[in-house]
């Protein structure tokens, strides 16, 4: 027996489930990148809106690559369990906001048709940093093979850019107002970034279309926050046993969740603020606090944890040497946050410490370590350059960058984590007998601090930290900080 509309009524009383008529809900949102984070975050907020009677905001979820989510959830009518874990407690909530699941490579026309539907007023994205396909300057990588393919075949796109721009072009031709594009990825000014690369892509098709996307389509920025570890087979078995029916892909998460959204939705939006979403004029202060204090610390924990053999964030954070490092880098990065923005950084890092110590989540350091070349510019490098601009020390941030390089080099023949630049980085790391040359080459390949006058000093500090890691070992090098 599978979790489905037919089995909802038979679930144990302790399991929360949709208390609205899913058959009467109509879709108003298309989501690109229907992975675990979306299902633990935006889909949960939308589910609350549906339960409050806002029945026009169901979600059509689309995978841009793999059919795995569709294959798991389609037999379950899009239903899945959100397992909220803290300590020994686990609360199960069945989410019903996903009405339909598409796999873009199998039927790109179906996804375009869904986005062209006038009922769709918002397109949200959790496609990860690397899927924005930017070059070292932060602009669209016009030479990327998927971009070239989408320009040649606009009716069968591969990328988020291709799908969004083709759908917008068709809506424009039909006289249908554009949908709002809401990025939910961990990028600074993610709405501005999305607008820039989408408009650049559109301009490669047609100059007028590029102007339309730049000037007439809303791209509000947002900041998202919830820890969502990868689901294991043991999680599936435990959740299914508690439900009394099989759930092929439950999602694990923590009690904490946050969403800060720039309030610019010309085509309308759900009443998210009723359920804890913070609607603001400017997301930037919240975004920088989260990217630097949560994500920056997370990446530091991940690479130091990998080097010291810690499988999970909780295990790594319990290591006194790593905890001291994180406490220090929090203070380093707090100094870079905008003054006068009303940020309660003391409360924020107190909450982060509790979240990182949550042993129930088993958030793997290897999962966080993925895609460092795409994540570290906004998580570590930007704050480090801000400290340098202020004349402040950068020993700890440079050490975090060196830990990333050292962790890349020590992954072994079956890497625990991957990076989009692995092919370019492999020969650099293999020949890594000169820390200064190694860091310079890694920075060049990754585009770190490419336009900053502080780049040489940052390279030198990172190289010194890498040499210390090599000479002293991780623990002694940490002790020297």
Owning domain of residue 388? 284-479
CATH number at residue 319: 1.10.1040.10
203 in a structural domain: yes
Owner of token pair 């070292």: 136
For 365-422, the pLDDT digits (tens) are 999 999 999 999 999 999 999 999 999 999 999 999 999 999 999 998 889 999 999 9
Please tell me whether residues 161 and 303 are part of one structural domain: no
Please tell me whether residues 258 and 346 are part of one structural domain: no
322 in a structural domain: yes
CATH number at residue 96: 3.40.50.720
DSSP per-residue letters across 376-428: HIIIIIHHHHHHHHTT---HHHHHHHHHHHHHHHT--SS-SS--TTHHHHHHH
Residue 136: its pLDDT value, please? 78
Q: Check residue 77 and give left, alpha or beta (phi > 0: left; psi -120 to 50: alpha).
A: left
Please tell me whether residues 258 and 373 are part of one structural domain: no
* C-beta separation of 280 from 109 below 8 A: no
Please tell me whether residues 190 and 318 are part of one structural domain: no
d(C-alpha 315, C-alpha 357), whole Å: 8
Residues 6 or more apart whose CB falls under 8 angstroms from that of 352 comprise 293, 294, 297, 330
17 in a structural domain: no
H/E segment holding residue 223: strand 222-225
Q: Looking at 230, 263, 281, which one is the last position of a domain?
A: 281
SS3 assignment, position 266: coil
Q: Across-strand partners of 58?
A: 27
Please tell me whether residues 406 and 381 are part of one structural domain: yes
Please tell me whether residues 362 and 438 are part of one structural domain: yes
* C-beta separation of 404 from 391 below 8 A: no
Please tell me whether residues 290 and 438 are part of one structural domain: yes
Of 406, 410, 387, nearest to 462 (Cα)?
Answer: 406
277 in a structural domain: yes
DSSP per-residue letters across 121-172: -EEEE---GGGG-B-TTSSB-TT-HHHHHHHH-TTS--SHHHHHHHHHHHHH
Ranges under pLDDT 50 in the chain: none
12 in a structural domain: no
Distance of CA 246 to the CA centre of its chain: 28
Please tell me whether residues 180 and 194 are part of one structural domain: yes
Please tell me whether residues 184 and 305 are part of one structural domain: no
Any alpha helices (H) in 447-473, and if so which ranges?
A: 455-472
**HEC readout, 303-351:** HHHHHHCCCEHHHHHCCHHHHHHHHHHHHHHHCCCCCCCCCCHHHHHHH
Question: What's 358's DSSP letter?
Answer: -
Q: Looking at 281, 296, 312, which one is the last position of a domain?
A: 281
Per DSSP bridges, beta strands 89-95 and 80-86 are antiparallel
Please tell me whether residues 296 and 226 are part of one structural domain: no
Residue 49: its pLDDT value, please? 98
Q: Looking at 250, 281, 312, which one is the last position of a domain?
A: 281
For 194-221, the pLDDT digits (tens) are 999 999 999 999 999 999 999 999 999 9
Buried b (16+ CB within 10 A) or exposed e, 437-472: ebbbbbbebbbbbeebebbeebbebbbbbbbbbbee
Please tell me whether residues 306 and 398 are part of one structural domain: yes
CA atoms within 13 A on the CB side of 249: 20
Question: What's 231's DSSP letter?
Answer: P
To the nearest 5 percent, what fractions of the chain are helix, strand and coil? 50, 15, 35
* C-beta separation of 162 from 154 below 8 A: yes
Please tell me whether residues 258 and 316 are part of one structural domain: no
pTM passes above 0.85: yes
Which contacts (CB < 8 Å, 24+ apart) does range 228-235 have? 228/36, 228/37, 228/40, 228/41, 228/252, 228/253, 229/361, 229/362, 229/363, 229/364, 229/367, 230/36, 230/364, 230/367, 231/36, 232/362, 235/83
347 in a structural domain: yes
Tokens found for residue 351: 């909450």
7 in a structural domain: no
H/E segment holding residue 259: strand 258-262
26 in a structural domain: yes
* C-beta separation of 450 from 481 below 8 A: no
What's the domain count of the chain? 2
Any alpha helices (H) in 12-159, and if so which ranges?
A: 36-40, 42-51, 68-73, 108-116, 145-152
């Amino acid at each position: 027996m599978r979790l489905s509309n037919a089995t909802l009524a038979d679930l144990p009383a302790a399991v929360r489930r949709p208390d609205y008529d899913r058959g009467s809900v109509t879709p108003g949102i298309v989501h690109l990148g229907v992975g675990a984070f979306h299902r633990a975050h935006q889909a949960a907020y939308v589910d609350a809106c549906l339960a409050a009677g806002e029945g026009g905001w169901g979600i059509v979820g689309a995978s841009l690559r793999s059919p795995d989510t569709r294959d798991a959830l389609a037999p379950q009518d899009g239903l899945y369990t959100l397992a909220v874990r803290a300590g020994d407690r686990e609360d199960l909530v069945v989410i019903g906001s996903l009405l339909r699941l598409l796999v873009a490579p199998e039927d790109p026309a179906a996804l375009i048709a869904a986005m062209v539907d006038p009922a769709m007023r918002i397109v949200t994205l959790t496609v990860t940093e690397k899927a924005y396909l930017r070059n070292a300057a932060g602009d669209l990588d016009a030479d990327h093979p998927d971009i070239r393919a989408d320009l040649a075949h606009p009716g069968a796109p591969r990328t988020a850019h291709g799908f969004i721009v083709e759908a917008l072009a068709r809506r424009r031709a039909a006289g249908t107002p554009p949908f709002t594009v809401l990025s939910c990825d961990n990028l600074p000014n993610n709405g501005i970034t999305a607008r820039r690369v989408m408009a650049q892509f559109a301009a490669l098709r047609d100059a007028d279309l590029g102007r339309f996307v730049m000037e007439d389509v809303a791209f509000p920025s947002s900041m998202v926050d919830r820890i969502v570890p990868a689901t294991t087979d043991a999680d599936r078995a435990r959740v299914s046993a508690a439900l009394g029916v099989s759930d092929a892909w439950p999602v694990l998460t923590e009690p904490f969740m946050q969403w800060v959204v720039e309030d610019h939705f010309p085509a309308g939006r759900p009443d998210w603020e009723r359920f804890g979403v913070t609607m603001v004029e400017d997301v930037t202060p919240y975004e920088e606090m989260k990217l630097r204090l949560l994500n920056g610390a997370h990446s530091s924990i991940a690479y130091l944890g990998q080097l010291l053999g810690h499988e999970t964030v909780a295990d790594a954070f319990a290591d006194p040497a790593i905890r001291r490092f994180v406490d220090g880098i929090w203070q380093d990065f707090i100094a870079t946050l905008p003054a006068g923005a009303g940020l309660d950084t003391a409360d924020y890092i107190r909450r982060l410490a509790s979240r990182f110590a949550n042993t129930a989540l088993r958030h793997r350091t290897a999962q966080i370590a993925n895609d460092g070349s795409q994540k570290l510019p906004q998580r570590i490098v930007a704050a480090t350059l801000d400290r340098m601009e202020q004349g402040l020390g950068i020993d700890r941030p440079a050490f975090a960058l060196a830990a990333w390089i050292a962790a890349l080099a020590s992954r072994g023949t079956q890497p625990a984590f991957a990076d989009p630049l692995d092919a370019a980085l492999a020969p650099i790391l293999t020949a890594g007998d000169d820390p200064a040359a190694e860091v310079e080459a890694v920075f060049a390949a990754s585009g770190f601090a490419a336009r900053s006058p502080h780049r040489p000093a940052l390279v030198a500090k990172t190289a010194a930290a890498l040499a210390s890691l090599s000479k002293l070992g991780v623990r002694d090098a940490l002790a020297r900080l």
